[in-house]
Structure 1
Amino acid sequence: MTDPSKVERPKLSTELTEYLVSLSVALQRHAMYPNGHPSLAPAVDAVLRRANRLLEDRPSLAFGVARRQLIVEGVTTDPEHPVLRRLAEELHRHHLGAVSINRNVQAEELSEALRALASEPERAGSLLPDWPHVRLHPLTFDGLALVGDAPLAQGSGSGKGTLSAELWVGLARAAISADAATASDDVPLDPSEVAQSIDEHHGAEAYDQVIVGYMTQIARELRTSSGAETEALRRRASRLVKDLRPDTLKRILDMGGDIGQRVAFVLDSARGMMAEAALDVVKAAAAACGQTISHSLLRMLSKLAAHTDDVSATGAGQPMAGEGLRDQVGRLLSDWTLEDPNPENYRQLLQQFAIAARNAQRPAGERSFEGHDPVRVIQMSLESGVSGPVLDRAVDEAVALGQTAMVAALVQAPPSGAEAVTQAVLSRLVLPSNLVVLLTSEPLDIESLDALLPHMTPKGYEVVLDALASAETRTTRRKLLDRLAKAPCDLSAAVVTRLHDDRWYVQRNMLVLLERYGRVPENMSLAEWTSHPDPRLRSEAIRVQLTLPAERDTAIRTALWDTDPRTVRVGLGALGQGCAPELVSRVVEIAVSRVFDEEIRMTAVAVLGRLRDSAGLDALLHLADGGRTLFGRQRLTSKTPLLVGVIKSLAGGWPTEKRAAAILAAAAASSDTELIEAARPGRR
């Protein structure tokens, strides 16, 4: 059965990330440059190109706006991503709750919308305009207060208050945004009012995106934080879930459409919300996934949940008991196979419930590392030689906080006798979910990556492949490419699956890796790339073919007759000491033709010197022969780098041949030191 703690958190797809990044860049340029500046049109085109690609399989493209994050298809962006955070902050300054772009959007619409967003937000409260295919959805509430709490900071830009409070205010604003014309700014809104508004407004993708995004963030905040503010958020969020209609809750679980996102939300809710609310989330998730929970198990869990919530307010040990119950609920539901539960699970569930209740009586420091530095927890584990779930959580937390380098330093010089714990830490660090965090951080922590490479599994290397495909800078791509080329495992199959990426540089990098590996999966054909319209891909594909003995001759022929100089140069460089007559003829044609640039012709001349074919000799003599003087002496053609190359090839390939000797003698008798040096016998 799947361990819920190991379920990989959902992440935004590469295509959506690139779309948002291009939108952020375009918005920044519109803020920097006036209308008509040459930098604006390419930025708009980049957004339009990526948007149209995403709109091929959906009618519209919407994302919600939080203060530092964006929400797309139920997934929130990384608040530490500088480009995406800047976009979120700029849109939030305009009091926007969501942005949607519809199919058939035009460049003019995008440009006008970006220009409007690049201006300073209107203080008078006027709304931004709409366009036929671009919608900017505003949020207009600045005076929300919370029932049972002091009013929070006014406005969205104060920067005061905790994250828990910000999340609740953000959700409340998003929920009632459609009622902007009728709601009172100063009426306190309790969870029931928020739930009623969410129940009543559905069907608008942009609205749902924001709601789902805030619910996801709230669930995650409840799982990872503690304190009075978090406890207040737990009560509000739990009451909100209880007051939502079942079909609304199912809609929230449906929104992302991805099983990983649903599982992540369910597990966060099960660990963070009050027990009965967590069970409501579990039931909605089961419905969204087409699963059923046995009636007997559901009755038992409902009774336990009611017991937990009822006594949590009167017993100091009960919150920990509820935590143990919710953890077990998460385990039982993680793989959605609950139709015929084993009675043994019932016994284990009740036993863990009892253990959790006893555990709650212990001092807080013995229960968890919450509130402590995770790196310190890891260090203590290494010193004590003890590993387990607490260590695993500490490693995950350290990675999430950007402390991978500190953890890597600890395991590079571990205490004596800590080999087993060291291996446990390394195994946790190289989990794909942790590698994703490391590899998407900017700037790339290459030293930590290098420390982990010897311990990585093939799955880990596939994460590096994904990072190579999504890296925004050439420097980062080069670093990752160099390390992937030295991978100790066969990644050729994983590389081939990424060859169909729309971005040319991703395809090129995958071809470079195949060339360095010197192998391709069985029955794979490179024809699609050796005949690709992009010459950069053709040349790399031919380099791959050259590493395959069965395809080497085909690759050389294809390259020599290509129209791109780089590809022709690849073919010339692959020719050895001998080749078929038709290939010699092609090399001669390249050497003597003025269609090719001089550098390519010089390469062909050097190849003819190696081949020592009579046709090649005739071509070289033709290139060097400048006729005779009035006194019958041999003359050379005008000195060029090409002539110097011809003399070198003649001296290396035919030093004693009669016709060649006359040319070489003329070069040796000249006053040009470079020609004299090139004509030395045996010169190559």
Structure 2
Amino acid sequence: MPSTAAATQVAELVRALALGWKNLAAYPAGHPALVSSLDLVHRRLNDLRGPAGEVVLGIENDGLLYGNDKIDSVSAQKFAQALYTRGVAVLRFAPETEARDIEMFLRLLAAGSPADQKRAIWEDLTAAGIVHINLQPVDYSGVQVTEDLTALPPDEKQPSLWEEILRALMEGNDLSPVAKEFLTRDRQPVTELVKMILQQVEAISAHVKPTFDPDATFGVRMPIHDDSRIAAHARLADAVGNYITSAKGPKKENSLRQAIELLRSLPQPLRGAVLRRVAEALALDHSAGPQLRQLASELPHDEVLEALRYLSSMTDLSPHALTLLQSLTAMQTSTRAEPPSESVIGDLVKLFGEDDIDRFNPPDHAALLEQVSIHVPFAPPPTAAPSETLGKRTETVADAALSRQLGRTIVELLSNLGASSPPQPILARLEHLFRSHLSAGEFDEAFELTQKLNEIATSTTSDELRHAIHESFGRLATPDMIRALVESLQNAPPEKTRALQRLVETLGAGARRNLLLALSEESNRSRRRRLFDFITSLGPVIAPEAVAFLGDSRWYVLRNMIVMLRSVNDRTSLPEMRKLALHRDLRVRMEAIKSLFTLDSGVPIELLENVLTDPDPKVAETAVALVGSAGIKEGVRPLLRIVRGNDIFGSRRSLRVKAIRALGELGDPSALPELQRFLRESLFPWPSKEERLVAWESLAGYPPETRLEFLERGLRSRDAQIRQVCERLPKS
């Protein structure tokens, strides 16, 4: 079971992937159900990604690793096994991953068994043009087979990539004090390294001395600064490339990540020289396919494509590099817009620039027009007929139908315009329509609008349009909009609840958070109850937002959140529940204790006993009453300990009476044998008459078959009050 909010999000992502996998086999490409499921995977991936950017999952044969968490649900185990048997050790989703990439990845994963594969799955991804999902295979380069059990001596410390770069720039000279001080730091920011590199390159080009050349004027050839700068660039590029080539195993992975970080900060043309050399080190290595894919996924595609084209003209590339080159070339071709021919534009300017071609009118036509007159008859405007004359078609001109058709038309307009015009005015009109649908209780229509917008955001190639749609979703989930949704919920019939649930799921975490905010501010009890039930019906997805409210200062908000988390069986909040079990407000404390007993089998019973035996009588009595009203079954034994013995002086009578009532509310038959002394005649003044009468009344809470014997005894009692109590209770 996931133990953190992030692990829960990974589990949600895996469930969405499993649904998308099933829909791939059930529906053709482009089917709305398939598009919706793939879009759900994309949303779950974005929710998990957050500000971190890249999502990295470790693959084991029995689950997935995310940070320090292991996700071992059934879906996660199946997904991990499918990748593990194909030799995958790490799965990376780049920030640019789209729904189309996820669809192709799932199709390749579902294409036969691992034994049917002719090549590695990461090479199939490259051939399909998918560079934003990177699969890293298991690396066995560090494994050595030996018959000697003697421990190997520790490896000699090798210079880091940063040190190799600085030494290459110094051309064999000692490092400067600034460089030595930089290398001794624990943290070595790449921006400072780039600054040192550029300063050193400028210093090298500025201090080149003139050389003797008999063919030059006066036998002296002045240095060309660009030549010395290019040579420095080449030395730096060779240092990076040679370091990556010689590195093995995890060291190669780390050096490549350092090189990518360096490339992002270097200016041109130094960046291009280093990129070519890094690409060469990976493109010529037949086992470096995943690393080359990682390089292509984290740097601009056009720069990686230019480097691979240059290398292909100089040497023979490995098969995986050729496949990546072909994929990047196809991607560039498909996104390139061909400009119109200059000759076509010139011909059009000449054609329409000389004269108006529609104005030509021969003389015989002009003479004919002077002799001809045209009579246009007058037709009176038709009178407006009542809408009832339309019959069954009246519904097609109703306000709801017109609003629905208007929404579809505006969505289609937004899809067709794409990035050709600003989308904000169109989105504002759609937001107004969405609000009107909510006010009118047309939840299916509101849900249809959000679905269409999601499809456009998924399929569009315009970053501006996608960003504008995401901002629009943020406005649809504002507190004001959620208050309108809550008002619609309070007036909606029960059959509309499912449509509202789908709508809230589409609006995402912002809507769930504002629903909880509306619940905390609702003062009407019946409205609060219905809103609470609706939020709980959303299921475990509400847990991360509900946990955020466990720090609220209002006791009733804390109690509602605790009950809600218990209702959806959320165990990620157990650490917070343990803190709330010591809360100063007894009502919060008892609900937290009940959640701990419900969700955690390892809770000690002493936690409950400490509350029931509190030195303050008011606290103890209130706790006893809450045990019964909250239905905490674990309270049976502590309550029985309270009523044991005799209260001769009556100092604890109020607490004992409440404990007997709480036992009746719990209705556990195992408590009846120890309560028998309260349910029979006594020659002594104890147990007190009040305690005995309450014990007889508490029989109403026990199962009928377990109380039958006592009812028959009570009906024969000499006490009239006891007989009346037993007569009111049914025997079966």
| TM-score bracket relative to the smaller structure | 0.3 to 0.5
After TM superposition, the score normalised by the length of structure 2 is 0.33
After TM superposition, the score normalised by the length of structure 1 is 0.35
Structure label with greater radius of gyration? 2
